[in-house]
Structure 1
Amino acid sequence: MSTDVVLPDLDSRLAEVTAVTEAHLARTDRDAVFPVEALAALRRTGLLGLLVPTAHGGLGGTARDLVAATSTLGRADLSVAMVFAMHCQQAAALVRYADRRLAASLLPRVAGGEVYLASVTTEAGKGGHLGTADARLTGSGGLLEIDRFAPVVTGGAHADGFLVTMRAAGDATAHEVSLVYADREQLSVEASGDWQPMGMRASHSVPLRLTGRVPAHHIVGTPGRFHEIAADVFGPLAHLGWSAAWLGTAAGALSRVLRMLRSPAGRERFDVGSELLLTRLSRSRQRLDTVHALLQQALATVEAGADLSRPARQLLLNSLKITASEQCPAAVDDLVEAVGLRHGYLKDSPTRLELAVRDLRSAGLNYHNDRLHLADGRLTLRDQGVTFA
């Protein structure tokens, strides 16, 4: 299940980050704390600038590099992989849509590892739905007022900058949403509540209230037309990045199980010729190959620069997210059944299946699959010929 890598030195950069991640994994999961050491490694290696063009000092990476990097990080820790993928999603939005002045001042800082970006899209009562916003932009004299509460902000307490969805200024409707960038130093950032989830504990997605002022040119894209950014960048890169992270986590779990089974101790404990064991391993691998194939098809569609608003292409991207969020946890559950209580359920097993189960349980809830199925039902009605991307 290898993924082609365009950047020749990407593997060495990722090796440094994964080594740091592994060294602190037990503590960050146990204590539900943000992986500050892994973030420092992402800064140090330049990976925060993966999708920033070389003209701004970045690595000039592509969506394929994002998928490869996120999948690799997912093998070590799903929380770190998701933090990285969501940062890259924000960076890509800035690359494509930021005002020239904002891009010139901000993108070199992202490339240099100075700015870790957090996404602020959730609101009480609407969850992570991207199409509407309640909190409205106000202001005058070239400055915009931000007063925003978000119940879930992944890594927000540690972010250096924020991309925030707000209702456009004036008499805009809830569907006229603007995306605004704010440096941490331009805001008062107040964290509230605790973060004690079942899994994804190191993502530290605490509620935040953001208040402050930013210049008017910090609106990213056309005011009130965030839906264009969502369709072009946020949605596609979210589904590619999340699915790559989930696939990496499940693939890492399978790899650790296989190494354990093939070790001298594993050969003594397990009958590797057992038909039941072999069948469960086969099912787990089949699920991951299915997700990998769908991920590669969706990635190729995005790489081709196709019009992603067409129903068949939206259905493909949504299908990737839904399928990955269902099949990756199922693949790990197959492994739990295959190796049993000692190595499938207990925390101290080197297979880390217990952690993978907890982390991957969040996949279907991360922009809930029910919401995507409703959207897909409407898209399906528009595609009477049942075409494929």
Structure 2
Amino acid sequence: MAQLARSAAPVLARYAAQVDREASFPAASVRALRDGGLFGLLVPEEYGGLGGDLHDLADAAQILAGGCLSTAMIWVMHGQQVDAIARFGTERLRKDVLPRIAAGEVYVGSVTTEPGTGSSLLTAHAPLNEAEAAEELRLERDAPVVTGGEHADAFLVTMRDAPQAAQHRVTMVYAARAQLRVRTSGGWDPLGMRGTHSVGLRLAGEVPAHQVVGGRGDFRRVAVESMIPAAHVGWSACWLGAARAALAAVVALARSPRRPAGLDPASDLVAERLARVRIDLEVVGAYLGEVVREVCARRRAGDPLDLPATQIHLNTLKVVAAESTYRAVDRLVRLTGLATGYLKDSPVPLERQLRDLRSASLNYADDRLLVAVGALSLADRAVATAGGAPAAYQPERS
């Protein structure tokens, strides 16, 4: 699976500057991922997919992000939706949709943002309604940010379960574009991640009841067991892959006879600055690997992921990866200087990578996750840090 990503990465790199400049959807790069079979990485083999797991997702995401972070993020978020369908979709939905995803025919977008929810994943305002046709559900909602939404063939949409339901009783439904009326609202001209083309959408339509994913009002379980782990692992891998590519480019430049004067590999100052970048990426890479091993092991054993310690590890991964990869590339910009690190036309695209990685701490805000980690820490009295650490010593109370 990593080899498939290595074959596609040069295509992503070829179009990365263009999609950033134009803030346009990377259609050619996404086509390469469709045609190369990577859209089906998380589709089980019985449905024609590659049968990969989150370890494979993380490996491929790092490689793809080295070519274009925007495209890699589009792909990871598609994979997040696929994982939810494969794990929580009805048998009929899986049989209908997963083979088409594996064949590269269906790109699934994510519709979880909503005006007024403050980006809270586990609440929804717009309600599902019973449609006039039997066994059908009617949905109508606005989404201010939908990654690649104008180009998605289908969507996973979160809705309040019913008009009278509480906002935390959320239902997820699969909706094909052909089942919806889709209208774009607003444009997309951000600082970074410009190729994700994350425009706002208004969706309205009717879907069969068998397209509910995870059961009525039970989205929290889908989020905890599938969408959050896939997102935090996939996003972190993307950010790490982009930062690793940036460091690799700077190291190659430092070893080149055409290196700038300030990038002398014999300089202790240069070595110290490179060391700080490398250490940041080592920490992220090691923690990513450990969290992926933990999640995959619990999945294989059929154990839930809702333990406080596991949730702490997943949230910590996202925060540490977001902060550390941005800091690493910022240090590379300072190390390489104005001409190499800061200009848009530099042969080393640090300027674009820095802008892209600035979004990492905002892509589901770190502040929210830190609050969650703090609250969960009060529930994890053993202080079970990642890596299978023994329970923390606690003196006996008299």
Superposition TM-score, scaled by structure 2 size: 0.93
**What does residue range 195-234 of structure 1 map to in structure 2 within 5 Å?**
195-234=188-227
Shift of 1:129: 1.5
Moved more, 182-191 or 127-136: 127-136
Name which of 245, 252, 255 aligns with 2:248: 255
**Do the aligned partners of 2:263 and 2:335 also contact (CA within 8 Å) in 1?**
no
**Do the aligned partners of 1:67 and 1:240 also contact (CA within 8 Å) in 2?**
yes
- 1:269 to 1:361, Cα distance in 2 relative to 1, 3 A: closer
**What does residue range 293-308 of structure 1 map to in structure 2 within 5 Å?**
293-305=286-298, 306-308=303-305
Deviation beyond 6 Å, 4+ runs, structure 1: none
Moved more, 268-277 or 139-148: 268-277
For 1:366, give the aligned amino acid: N
Name which of 142, 153, 163 aligns with 1:160: 153
**What does residue range 1-389 of structure 1 map to in structure 2 within 5 Å?**
7=1, 10-11=2-3, 13-140=4-131, 141-169=134-162, 171-266=164-259, 270-305=263-298, 306-389=303-386
**Do the aligned partners of 1:67 and 1:244 also contact (CA within 8 Å) in 2?**
yes
* CA shift digits 1:269-324 (9 cap, x unpaired): 63211111111100000000000011011001111114321111111111100000
Shift of 1:182: 0.5
For 1:339, give the aligned amino acid: T
SS in 1 for 2:84: helix
SS in 1 for 2:142: strand
**Do the aligned partners of 1:256 and 1:350 also contact (CA within 8 Å) in 2?**
no
**Do the aligned partners of 2:181 and 2:205 also contact (CA within 8 Å) in 1?**
yes
For 2:353, give the aligned amino acid: A
For 2:348, give the aligned amino acid: T
For 2:167, give the aligned amino acid: A
Instruction: Quote the Cα distance in structure 2 between the aligned partners of 1:58 and 1:92.
Output: 12
**Do the aligned partners of 1:29 and 1:202 also contact (CA within 8 Å) in 2?**
yes
* CA shift digits 1:117-160 (9 cap, x unpaired): 00000001224321110000002321110101000000010000
**Do the aligned partners of 2:20 and 2:194 also contact (CA within 8 Å) in 1?**
yes
* CA shift digits 1:141-198 (9 cap, x unpaired): 2111010100000001000000000011252111110000000000011011110000
Instruction: Quote the Cα distance in structure 1 between the aligned partners of 2:384 and 2:130.
Output: 47
The unaligned stretches of length 5 or more in structure 1 are 1-6
Superposition TM-score, scaled by structure 1 size: 0.96
Instruction: Quote the Cα distance in structure 1 between the aligned partners of 2:11 and 2:124.
Output: 38
For 1:255, give the aligned amino acid: A
Instruction: Quote the Cα distance in structure 2 between the aligned partners of 1:357 and 1:269.
Output: 20
For 1:311, give the aligned amino acid: P
For 1:129, give the aligned amino acid: S
Instruction: Quote the Cα distance in structure 2 between the aligned partners of 1:353 and 1:148.
Output: 38
**Do the aligned partners of 2:6 and 2:64 also contact (CA within 8 Å) in 1?**
no
Alignment correspondent of 1:3: none
Instruction: Quote the Cα distance in structure 1 between the aligned partners of 2:358 and 2:117.
Output: 21
Instruction: Quote the Cα distance in structure 2 between the aligned partners of 1:361 and 1:108.
Output: 36
**Do the aligned partners of 2:58 and 2:234 also contact (CA within 8 Å) in 1?**
yes
**Do the aligned partners of 1:280 and 1:337 also contact (CA within 8 Å) in 2?**
no
- 1:113 to 1:127, Cα distance in 2 relative to 1, 3 A: farther
**Do the aligned partners of 1:156 and 1:206 also contact (CA within 8 Å) in 2?**
yes
Shift of 1:69: 0.5
Instruction: Quote the Cα distance in structure 2 between the aligned partners of 1:131 and 1:282.
Output: 40
**Do the aligned partners of 1:16 and 1:41 also contact (CA within 8 Å) in 2?**
no
Instruction: Quote the Cα distance in structure 2 between the aligned partners of 1:126 and 1:258.
Output: 44
* CA shift digits 1:77-117 (9 cap, x unpaired): 11011101100010010001111111111111100000000
Alignment correspondent of 2:395: none
Instruction: Quote the Cα distance in structure 2 between the aligned partners of 1:123 and 1:157.
Output: 17
Alignment correspondent of 2:396: none
